[in-house]
Amino acid sequence: MISWTAQYFIFLMGAVVFVLWIRLPNKSKLDFSVHFAIAGLIAILESKGLAHYFYDTRPFVVLHRKPLFPHVPDNGFPSDHTTLTMMTALLWRKYSKPIGAAMMACSLMIGVARVASLVHSPVDIAGSILIASAAAGISAYFAPEIAARLGQIGKKSQRETA
């Protein structure tokens, strides 16, 4: 169960987010999509940039033990799984605090499972949470204006085709 959670729970969370996104009103769909795109881009840039300065050897390499599932012995910092799921959870809190909180708990569960699987250390998970928080926060600053402009473009093109 730990191995499954560490590897595949992210896909279940993605499916849930997709179903919840479909149920959002159109304006909120655009808003979430813009927030997600901006935060995702920022998280990727942060992750790749920080990984050049901080190398954390994966625990299974340090401990000379086999991880719970096959994994390459590359840099463990940060955890992509935790970064993506925590970023999504933080963004979703705007639409539903209880669902966002549940997603945050699921993200932490994924992070703990990845530590228990010996593919990440707690530092990798903590770094991922900080990266996700920064990405979501920065996106909250820029995304509303971009979403509003995209919404105006959408309304204008609807009027032109009518």
Distances (CA, A) of 123 to 29, 46, 86, 115, 155: 34, 16, 15, 10, 46
- Short-list 39, 130, 18, 1, CA closest to 78: 130
pLDDT for position 150: 84
Q: Residue 110 domain-assigned?
A: yes
Over residues 84-107, the mean pLDDT reads 97
Tokens of 154: 């959408």
Q: Which CATH number belongs to the domain containing residue 34 in this structure? A: 1.20.144.10
Q: Residue 108 domain-assigned?
A: yes
Q: SS3 for 75?
A: strand
Residue-averaged pLDDT of the chain: 94
Angle at 105 between CA 34 and CA 35, to 5 degrees: 5
Q: Residue 114 domain-assigned?
A: yes
Question: Is 101 or 26 the better-scoring residue by pLDDT?
Answer: 101
What is the H or E stretch that residue 34 is in?
Answer: helix 26-53
Structural domain harbouring 140: 2-6+26-157
Question: What domain count does the chain have?
Answer: 1
Q: Residue 19 domain-assigned?
A: no
CB 132 within 8 A of CB 43: yes
The per-residue pLDDT for range 109-159, each reduced to its tens digit, is: 999 999 999 999 999 999 999 999 999 999 999 988 898 888 777 565 555
pTM comes to 0.91
- 36: Cβ contacts below 8 Å, ≥ 6 apart: 88, 91, 139
